[in-house]
Amino acid sequence: MSRLSELLASGTRPVVTAEFPSIDGGGLAAVERAVADLKPYVDAVNATDNPAAHAHASNTSIAIAMHQFGLEPVLQVVCRDKNRLAMQADIMGAALHGVENVALLTGDDVTAGDEPEARRVFDLDSIQMVKVAGGLAEGHYLSGRAIKEPPTLFIGAVENPFAPPLGYRVERAKKKADAGARFLQLQIGYHPDRLEDFVRGCVEMGVAETTALLPTIVLTKTGRALSFMNDSVPGISIPQATIDRVAGAGDKEAVAEASYEVTVELAQHALSLPGVSGLHITDFRHDGSLARLVEDLRIGPSQIKEQHAHRPQLV
Amino acid sequence: MKRLIPLFEHAVKKPVWDCRMCGQCVLHSTGMTCPMTCPKTLRNGPCGGVREDGGCEVKPEMTCVWLKAERRSHSPINPGRWEAELNHLRPPVNNQLKDTSSWINLLSGADRRAPAGWTGEIVEDSADLLVGAALVEIDDPSSLPEGFHS
């Protein structure tokens, strides 16, 4: 089993996952540099799949390169760009190279990106893809065609506790868990109350028993970044008070510091919730704040001191 | 008749449910809301892009199809069995059934036929799955399906 799955199942400490920066050129040296930046602070990193509907070096190529450079990859696969044949082929291909963790998402619509004229695919939805990936690990393609030496896969998905219909999100998480998702990276969110309700619901419905919950925390450094997410990214809402607190903090440095404080508070709150196994960190700052955050929170591989974390029964 | 029934079905279902003729109707288990009208054609619940006001990520002026489906599934005129079906895991769409009559497919059972692997069945003798490989051995290229050479 993957290191990520073992770590999550052990519950010895909160786990940290993150997003790999988009790579467009610079050869494998560019990947190696990004690996060196992230590796000391995180347990596994998502090789993203055309994030926000922008084309970049492919998820599989980055995941394989990360694996070769010694950083545990999570192959992210979105349903927007490829049909069921291509998605199965990508997972199988990456698995040949030792990539075991996969996160399966619906994906932002093509209209979120810089090529809105593109044909959207969505041949499968994310829950169907979770189940299909489970089939690959069991030794068959969706057609039923046998795979003689099936890959080891640790399958996860994403859920958004912050978007309507709020009351239904736990049921959707349960549906994903029942389909075979063993971890859920949660969407970016700035409403601690909604996260709390969602996690409590997941504990009550037994989702947290079988599936590791990883709320997402975002590192930003301007009020403008928060306003942009609130206004322009569907599914993300940020309370005006939070935006005002950051934007009105003073000069550039004070704003960046206020923004960091908001992140730390949200992270501490998320980690305090029973049923949470760790954090997924999205870094839009790229100024070393990721290192500071994991140090301040005392989470991630750099912390020697063992501490308790929620312990789901993943197998 | 085979051509008339889909036409008739579409004439009835298009004005009421904006039917897209996927040929495998699940209206009753989605609160009588057609999931194929979701721009991402999601059949198992809402994506993460639903806006704060309930608007669709892709078409903000439209209320999320799944928001409506979830609400309508609890409607008192809906039988309890249908309400419970909202959370059923619906299999991948069979694109071969597009533009055929879901009424006929319901009677023939074609709308419930999922690929063997969906239910975990492993097809050991997979020769019948390798249709493409068999086609390569056909001598007369004109007998190949349209688009085979592209």
Among A172, A185, A191, most B C-beta atoms within 10 A, so best to mutate, is A172
Mean pLDDT calculated for residue range B98-104: 90
Contact A123 B93 (CB under 8 A): yes
Using CB atoms, pick whichever of B44, B60, B129 lies closest to residue A127. Answer: B44
Per-residue pLDDT at A145 exceeds 80: yes
The reply to whether B71 touches chain A by the CB within 8 Å rule is yes
Band of pLDDT at residue A180, cut at 50, 70 and 90: very high
pLDDT of the residue at A304: 58
The reply to whether B92 touches chain A by the CB within 8 Å rule is yes
Q: Is residue B148 part of a domain?
A: no
The β-bridge partners of A185 are A158, A214
Residue A130, exposed/middle/buried by CB under 10 A (0-12, 13-18, 19+)? buried
Per-residue pLDDT at B131 exceeds 60: no
A115 token code pair: 């090529």
Using CB atoms, pick whichever of A140, A141, A163 lies closest to residue B48. Answer: A163
Total structural domains in chain B? 1
Residues with Cβ < 8 Å from B83, sequence gap 6 or more?
Answer: B73, B74
Per-residue pLDDT at B135 exceeds 50: no
CATH of the domain at A176: 3.20.20.220
Contact B117 A168 (CB under 8 A): no
The reply to whether B51 touches chain A by the CB within 8 Å rule is yes
- The gap between the terminal CA atoms of chain A, to the nearest Å, is 10
Using CB atoms, pick whichever of A135, A138, A187 lies closest to residue B48. Answer: A187
Mean pLDDT calculated for residue range A174-184: 98
Q: How many CA atoms lie within 13 A of A176 on its CB side?
A: 35
Q: Is residue A237 part of a domain?
A: no
Q: State the greatest distance between any 2 C-alpha atoms of chain B, in Å, as a whole number.
A: 61
Mean pLDDT calculated for residue range A33-44: 97
pLDDT of the residue at B134: 41
Per-residue DSSP letter, A297: H
Per-residue pLDDT at A38 exceeds 80: yes
Q: Are A75 and A102 in contact (CB under 8 A)?
A: yes
- Secondary structure element (H or E) that encloses residue A172, with its range: helix A169-179
Buried b or exposed e, range A246-261, using 16+ CB within 10 angstroms = bbebeeeeebbebbbe
The reply to whether A237 touches chain B by the CB within 8 Å rule is yes
Mean pLDDT calculated for residue range A226-232: 95
Kindly list the residues from chain B whose CB atom is less than 8 angstroms away from the CB atom of residue A175: 44-45, 87, 89
Residue B78, exposed/middle/buried by CB under 10 A (0-12, 13-18, 19+)? middle
Q: Which residue of A has its CA nearest to B120?
A: A135
- The gap between the terminal CA atoms of chain B, to the nearest Å, is 34
- What's at A208, amino acid-wise? A
Per-residue DSSP letter, B48: T
Q: Is residue A189 part of a domain?
A: yes
Q: Is residue B29 part of a domain?
A: yes
Q: What is the spatial distance between Cα A152 and Cα B134, in angstroms, rounded to a whole number?
A: 31
Angle between helices A289-297 and A252-272 (to 10 degrees): 40
Mean pLDDT calculated for residue range A167-182: 97
Mean pLDDT calculated for residue range A134-149: 97
pLDDT of the residue at A313: 84
- In the three-class reduction of DSSP (H, G, I as helix; E, B as strand; rest coil), residue A11 is classed as coil
Per-residue pLDDT at B133 exceeds 60: no
Q: Are A76 and A44 in contact (CB under 8 A)?
A: no
Q: Is residue A249 part of a domain?
A: no
Q: Is residue A259 part of a domain?
A: no
**Least reliable range by pLDDT among A96-110, A253-267, B3-17, B61-75:** B3-17
pLDDT of the residue at B54: 97
Band of pLDDT at residue B127, cut at 50, 70 and 90: low
Q: Are A213 and A276 in contact (CB under 8 A)?
A: yes
Contact B57 A125 (CB under 8 A): no
Higher pLDDT, A263 or B143: A263
Using CB atoms, pick whichever of A120, A159, A164 lies closest to residue B67. Answer: A164
Q: What is the spatial distance between Cα B35 and Cα B29, in angstroms, rounded to a whole number?
A: 10
Give the pLDDT confidence of A114-134 residue by residue, as tens digits. 999 999 999 999 999 999 999
Q: Which of A220, A212, A137, A217 is nearest to A176 (CA)?
A: A212
Contact B122 A132 (CB under 8 A): no
Domain that holds residue A181: 3-221+274-297
Per-residue pLDDT at A282 exceeds 60: yes
pLDDT of the residue at B28: 87
pLDDT of the residue at B150: 42
Mean pLDDT over the full length of chain A:
96
Q: What is the spatial distance between Cα A209 and Cα A206, in angstroms, rounded to a whole number?
A: 5
Q: Is residue A258 part of a domain?
A: no
Domain that holds residue B20: 4-118
Kindly list the residues from chain A whose CB atom is less than 8 angstroms away from the CB atom of residue B117: 132, 135, 140-145
- Residue A64 main-chain phi, psi, to 5 deg: -65, -45
Distance from CA of A75 to the nearest CA of B (A): 19
Q: Is residue B138 part of a domain?
A: no
pLDDT of the residue at A165: 96
Higher pLDDT, A156 or A286: A156
Mean pLDDT calculated for residue range B9-29: 87
Q: Which residue of A has its CA nearest to B90?
A: A128
Start-end of H helices in A273-311? 289-297
Kindly state the percentage of chain B with pLDDT values over 70. Answer: 83
Total residue length of chain A = 315
Q: Which residue of A has its CA nearest to B57?
A: A234
Q: Are A107 and A82 in contact (CB under 8 A)?
A: no
Distance from CA of B141 to the nearest CA of A (A): 25
Kindly list the residues from chain A whose CB atom is less than 8 angstroms away from the CB atom of residue B115: 142-144
Mean pLDDT calculated for residue range A204-222: 97
Q: Is residue B12 part of a domain?
A: yes
Mean pLDDT over the full length of chain B:
84
Band of pLDDT at residue B83, cut at 50, 70 and 90: confident
As for the ipTM of the complex, it is 0.92
Give the pLDDT confidence of A45-98 residue by residue, as tens digits. 999 999 999 999 999 999 999 999 999 999 999 999 999 999 999 999 999 999
Total structural domains in chain A? 1
